Every structure is written in C-alpha cells, then in structure tokens.
A and B are shown apart, each in its own frame.
Chain A
Amino acid sequence: GESVGLHLPTLSVQEGDNSIINCAYSNSASDYFIWYKQESGKGPQFIIDIRSNMDKRQGQRVTVLLNKTVKHLSLQIAATQPGDSAVYFCADLMNSGYSTLTFGKGTMLLVSP
C-alpha cells in the first residue's frame, strides 16, 4: 500500500534554533494530516493537525505547512528546546469510509543545550 515517508531520519539542532522536519506522502486522496511526538518510553502524542483545505496552521511554537501539489508536509518548531528532543511522526488519512492513519517511520530530533 501507499505509505508516508520522511526525508531525514535524524536531525540535530542547537537549543534556540528553529527546526524543520519534512515528510512526503504518497496518497493524493489524503485530506487530513497529523504530526505526533514520541518521547522515549512513551506513546505518540498529538502535536498539530491540518486539513487539505489549508496550507498552513500554527500552534504554540509549532507550524505545519502542507503543499498538496508536491505532496509534502513539514513541521516547524520555533526556538527548539531540549524538551523537544523526541521522534516525530507524520501521518495521513483519507477522510472517507473506515480509512486508517498511515504513519511515516519517524525522524529523531536531537536538541543540544
């Protein structure tokens, strides 16, 4: 089946930098997208979502950008902190019927103080 992929498996940044995590999805029918954060030993936690009728959505220190033309999703974290160190997953879903989220394999974000 189709899958969501990531460009970089590991991203290392300095505290205070802005981080950008990228994701490519393959299902052109997907219309809902989510970013999850997973800290060591914990389950994934919802960060932010975006629907296909939007190009950008902002949360607290996080922004998700969606480019449907090239099927690309990104997560921007402003002023990255050591507590942001985690694995970040993107996921997509086609909002019809009983479809399920398709997860990418994850990007490890390492933040150095």
Chain B
Amino acid sequence: DVKVTQSSRYLVKRTGEKVFLECVQDMDHENMFWYRQDPGLGLRLIYFSYDVKMKEKGDIPEGYSVSREKKERFSLILESASTNQTSMYLCASSRRTGGYGYTFGSGTRLTVV
C-alpha cells in the first residue's frame, strides 16, 4: 500500500536542463516536504508546503523551486541542473498539526552529468 509516490527512482540529466521531480500522496496530508540526502550530511530540507499554493524555504532552497497546485501533489523543480545537485531526493508528507511523523517516498536518485 504505497502512500507517497515519487515519479522516478533514477534520473540522469544534463547540466543546464530543467528538471521536474514529482511527488504524490494519497493520505490527504496537508504538509509536504522535499529533502535531499547526501553521505555525511544526512537529510536536508529544501522546501516545504503547508497548503495548496503555499511554500516555505527550508535550509537549502538555492537552485530549487517548488509547486503545489493540488493538495496531493508537490513538485520540485531544478531550474538549471548542476552537477552539485546530484543527490538522492526524498519527498515526505504529514498531517498539519505537529506531533505526527512524516511518511516518506522511496526517493529519486538524480545524477547530473
């Protein structure tokens, strides 16, 4: 029973390309998040959203943007991909009120060449 789905498991893109990473959740969660995960650096928050059309910057938003047009879908956009954006990208969702854990997707491993 998959609850948070990321559209791609593996992606290879060229430097300068515009890249879209899609995430869909079926739990009617208000909150959605994008993280990147790198060895030795752990999970770092890129952007999050508390409602449709709302977005907040996380710890490392530079080089990224997001879109949330529908409650169940949260997209991460790399406007012009660079090699330092090669990473594992994880999407998560949670209920609005704090105190509930995040449910993560399986991740998208992006390689920028």
A contact residues vs B (CB 8 Å cutoff)? 1, 31-32, 34, 36, 41-46, 49, 51, 89, 93-96, 98-101, 103-106
Task: Name which residue of chain B comes closest to A106, CB basis.
Answer: B42
- How many inter-chain residue pairs (CB < 8 Å) link A and B? 52
| A43 in contact with B105 given A32-B98, A100-B58, A105-B41 (CB within 8 Å) | yes
Q: How many residues of B contact A (CB 8 A)?
A: 24
| A96 in contact with B101 given A43-B106, A105-B41, A106-B42 (CB within 8 Å) | no
| A105 in contact with B40 given A1-B59, A100-B33 (CB within 8 Å) | yes
Shortest distance from the beta carbon of A94 to any chain B beta carbon, whole Å: 7
Q: A94 contacts B42, CB within 8 Å?
A: no
Task: Name which residue of chain A comes closest to B44, CB basis.
Answer: A103
CA distance A103 to B97 in the complex (A): 18
Contacting B99 at CB < 8 Å: which of A36, A51, A98? A51
Q: Is B74 an interface residue (CB 8 A)?
A: no
What are 14 sample pairs from A and B whose C-beta atoms fall under 8 A apart?
A: A1-B59, A32-B98, A36-B101, A41-B107, A42-B106, A43-B4, A43-B90, A43-B106, A46-B101, A46-B103, A100-B33, A103-B42, A104-B42, A105-B42
